[in-house]
Chains A and B, each alone.
Chain A
């Protein structure tokens, strides 16, 4: 899986992880993949809801030592 961009939002609180992610995604082309790093626990539910409702694809998300990683493919 080739990610086009990594958006680091570690340490940021809601709503900034999704604000930053959305801005980055706006600049990608359809089919490209973005990786987002977050330490905000609430971001897990929010990312899933956001991606679903905006018809992008959440390829996977994982947690490593308190850091959440989301891989989103632009629709």
Chain B
């Protein structure tokens, strides 16, 4: 019973508008706890929350809150309620109103590829921004070959992108055993005949075969020998491994983010891993070149999105500006990474089980498990 004249906006279209800093007004009609937990954010986004069950008998209560001078998008969990509410708004003469196609579920799954830069001997590195959940994946492309790092569940996006670049995916790597999202690394490797790499110290309980991502691993992409150098960097998990790509980029996994640092508690071992985390950030990373461009596996806030959505920063700049790298006192650091942490990511224990291959939920169940923000940083309140 869709209203005539009512238009849907896809997650991809909405992403473009967020990244282009288009002024947008969002009417989110989910219940207030879901809204408070996780919502669409951006520098030029104004949003309000009015649960749909207050708008069943009519939208009079919100009409005067709907601005006439900018685009309005009605958002709900899956789509149904937003179609219901947006339809009523259109009937009331609000013709600049659309609804988010597929709701927050589609928003959570959208990936936006952004070119990070070129490699020294030809080839490029791309970042895939999962804007709704704050996850970041990477693809290194060179001379017809590709490696995908921290692959997300939506593996067809990476397959299609590699095809467009005329590249064959040869390697998929996970910097650690993820707890906030379901890895697509193994699945993508199986589809494309690639090698799947995982740090062995995170793989104690995995039930599938993998290649050991440790400091002895030699991984090249394309004929130009683009080196992917693993750097053991425990703290978020005991196996966490960073990758230096082409001597230019530091893929820091969930150890170091642009505005925060990784939390050590998602595998249940916060106290044990605090000193590892501190060593990695304050010693191991300190010995690396300050000119490396840090490419993390997550972002927590819309303010971390740079030009075109790119999330990156120079390592030297992060040593100056990132609050997680500027706690001289060890006790203060210990307190910051173990106390008053944000809530854990939704279903994080089950997600770890999936990533070990121990349970295999349906697609719909996987989607539900990944609801909400990633919350892998200590500052993701």
Residues on A lying within 8 angstroms of B by beta carbon are 13-16, 18-19, 22, 41-42, 45-46, 49-50, 53-54
Stretch from B73-81, B138-146, B229-237, B280-288 contacting the other chain: B73-81
Contact indicator B78/A14 (Cβ below 8 Å): yes
Among A15, A19, A22, the one with the most B-chain Cβ atoms within 10 Å of its Cβ is A15
21 A-B contacts (beta carbon < 8 Å) = A13-B80, A14-B77, A14-B78, A14-B80, A15-B52, A15-B53, A15-B80, A18-B52, A18-B53, A18-B56, A19-B56, A22-B57, A41-B368, A42-B77, A42-B78, A46-B31, A49-B53, A50-B31, A50-B51, A53-B54, A54-B53
Contact indicator B56/A15 (Cβ below 8 Å): yes
Assembly CA distance A53 to B31 (angstroms): 10
Contact indicator B53/A22 (Cβ below 8 Å): yes
Residues on B lying within 8 angstroms of A by beta carbon are 31-34, 51-54, 56-57, 76-78, 80-81, 84, 368
Chain A: minimal CB distance from B100 (Å) = 14
Assembly CA distance A13 to B56 (angstroms): 15
Among A42, A45, A54, the one with the most B-chain Cβ atoms within 10 Å of its Cβ is A42
Assembly CA distance A16 to B53 (angstroms): 10
The 9 A-B pairs at the shortest CB distance, nearest first, are namely A49-B31, A15-B81, A50-B53, A14-B80, A13-B80, A18-B53, A15-B84, A15-B52, A22-B56
Chain B: minimal CB distance from A70 (Å) = 13
Contact indicator B33/A45 (Cβ below 8 Å): yes
Assembly CA distance A4 to B51 (angstroms): 27
Assembly CA distance A14 to B75 (angstroms): 13
Assembly CA distance A42 to B78 (angstroms): 9
- Residues on B with C-beta less than 8 A from A15 are 52-53, 56, 76, 80-81, 84
Dominant secondary structure of chain A at its interface with chain B: helix
Contact indicator A45/B31 (Cβ below 8 Å): yes
- Residues on A with C-beta less than 8 A from B77 are 14, 42
Chain B: minimal CB distance from A24 (Å) = 12
- Residues on A with C-beta less than 8 A from B34 are 45
Nearest to B29 among chain A residues (CB) is: A15
- Residues on A with C-beta less than 8 A from B31 are 45-46, 49-50
Assembly CA distance A75 to B32 (angstroms): 22
Chain B: minimal CB distance from A11 (Å) = 13
Nearest to A42 among chain B residues (CB) is: B77
Nearest to B32 among chain A residues (CB) is: A49
Given contacts A22-B57, A49-B33, 9 further A-B contacts (CB under 8 A): A14-B76, A14-B77, A15-B56, A15-B76, A15-B80, A19-B84, A42-B78, A49-B31, A53-B54
Assembly CA distance A10 to B173 (angstroms): 43
Chain B: minimal CB distance from A69 (Å) = 18
Assembly CA distance A22 to B286 (angstroms): 61
Chain B: minimal CB distance from A27 (Å) = 14
Nearest to A50 among chain B residues (CB) is: B53
Assembly CA distance A71 to B80 (angstroms): 24
- Residues on A with C-beta less than 8 A from B76 are 14-15
Assembly CA distance A14 to B367 (angstroms): 17
Assembly CA distance A49 to B368 (angstroms): 19
Nearest to B368 among chain A residues (CB) is: A41
Nearest to B78 among chain A residues (CB) is: A14
Contact indicator A49/B51 (Cβ below 8 Å): yes
Contact indicator B51/A53 (Cβ below 8 Å): yes
Nearest to A14 among chain B residues (CB) is: B80
Nearest to B84 among chain A residues (CB) is: A15
- Residues on B with C-beta less than 8 A from A13 are 78, 80
Assembly CA distance A18 to B56 (angstroms): 9
Assembly CA distance A32 to B58 (angstroms): 25
Chain B: minimal CB distance from A57 (Å) = 16
- Residues on A with C-beta less than 8 A from B52 are 14-15, 18
Assembly CA distance A60 to B51 (angstroms): 22
- Residues on B with C-beta less than 8 A from A16 are 80
Chain B: minimal CB distance from A72 (Å) = 12
- Residues on A with C-beta less than 8 A from B78 are 13-14, 42
- Residues on A with C-beta less than 8 A from B56 are 15, 18-19, 22
Assembly CA distance A50 to B32 (angstroms): 10
Nearest to B52 among chain A residues (CB) is: A15
